[in-house]
A = this chain, B = another copy of it.
Amino acid sequence: MAPKAVTLIDVARAANVSRATAARALNGYGYVGGDAAERVLAAADRLGYRSNRVAQALRRGQLPLIGFMPGDIQNPFFARIAHDVDVDLRAFRHNLLIASSEEDPEQEVELLESLRSLNVRGFIVAPTSADNKEHLVRLVRDGTPLVLIDRALPQVACDSVTVDNEGGAREAVSYLIANGHRRIGLIQDDSRITTARGRLAGYIQALQSHGIEVDESLIIVSRSTVEYAIDATIRLFSRPSRPTAVFTVDSLMTQGALLGLRSMGLAVPHAVSLVGFDDFNLATFTDPQITVVAQPIAQIGPLAVKLLMQRINGSREPPHREQFPTRLVVRGSVSRPSRTPGR
């Protein structure tokens, strides 16, 4: 069935040269006679020769592949980065191997091993957990280029591209407080994820610096999908004394909160004020428009690629840990609480 592929030998034979010469002509290195080169190229073309990158890789020790491991490719944040990385990598003639960890630490370890054994040249990873780092440490120790995105791990000595989660959350919650809210809910994802920790820390700081006590019953954990967040929102607002405002830690959860609140008949911002981390397409379409903490998402993928390629090309610089600032984009989803919070 599958006709065996044309190999370098076939080309060499057809061009009446040795494999070495054929390879030189094809890859354009070393000395090759113009005449021979032409014959080789012609033969390759005629025969439909495609180099076998696996064989090349075995010989050279590496495959021009980059592993990208987001928490969830369906999250628009990661999809955008995947896109940007894919595009930028093309300039380096590298392909992208995407394997989502599904936010499962074990799966992250397994997939990483699996990709390592493919001799990929480097990784861009959004680590699922702050506690799960041995495999990454090992990776770095073995000299494999790695850049962490979205979530940095101080204990792993590698480049990272993140955002000021703490500051962003603090700004969002402070804004809510400045608008008179004191009972502010937090819908966040699993606290082993470092961004969740940072955003939680920002939330707590904002509260405490305004003398507001942190009420655990206002904090709820959800997986980062619209469906789970709807559910979490409903649970949060079904509790005896509900918050007057809520802060969500990513765009999928913001959308879930929106949907959840609506299903309970709670209008934004009249009944409940809302601020979300991470902007999204329809944030300005909803009525009201949603106030968000925007991240400079367009810069993340490109910088990650740049740092990674520098490592691949042998850079020995100390880790570059980029942390971009966030920006509070005030729209219309926050108003003063309509009445004093119940109890």
Asked if residues B100 and A97 are in contact (CB atoms below 8 Å), the reply is no
User: Which residues of B have CB within 8 Å of A15?
Assistant: none
Asked if residues B52 and A117 are in contact (CB atoms below 8 Å), the reply is yes
Asked if residues A73 and B63 are in contact (CB atoms below 8 Å), the reply is no
Any B CB within 8 A of the CB of A102: yes
Asked if residues B226 and A281 are in contact (CB atoms below 8 Å), the reply is yes
Chain B nearest CB, measured from A253 CB (Å): 12
A-B contact pairs, 24 of them (CB 8 A): A1-B143, A2-B142, A50-B116, A52-B117, A53-B118, A54-B54, A54-B63, A54-B119, A73-B82, A74-B80, A79-B79, A83-B100, A86-B99, A87-B100, A95-B111, A95-B114, A95-B115, A96-B99, A97-B98, A98-B98, A255-B285, A258-B282, A259-B285, A282-B285
User: Which residues of B have CB within 8 Å of A208?
Assistant: none
Partner of A73, one of B73, B258, B282: B73
Query: Taking the full assembly, how many copies of this chain does it contain?
Result: 2
Asked if residues A86 and B58 are in contact (CB atoms below 8 Å), the reply is no
Asked if residues A86 and B74 are in contact (CB atoms below 8 Å), the reply is no
| Smallest CB gap from A111: residue in B | B95
User: Which residues of B have CB within 8 Å of A55?
Assistant: 58
User: Which residues of B have CB within 8 Å of A2?
Assistant: 142-144
Any B CB within 8 A of the CB of A240: no
| Smallest CB gap from A99: residue in B | B95
User: Which residues of B have CB within 8 Å of A99?
Assistant: 86, 95-96
In whole angstroms, what is the CA distance A296 to B281 when docked? 23
Any B CB within 8 A of the CB of A72: yes
In whole angstroms, what is the CA distance A50 to B284 when docked? 50
In whole angstroms, what is the CA distance A99 to B95 when docked? 7
In whole angstroms, what is the CA distance A58 to B259 when docked? 51
Any B CB within 8 A of the CB of A106: no
Asked if residues B82 and A98 are in contact (CB atoms below 8 Å), the reply is yes
| Smallest CB gap from A75: residue in B | B79
In whole angstroms, what is the CA distance A117 to B119 when docked? 16
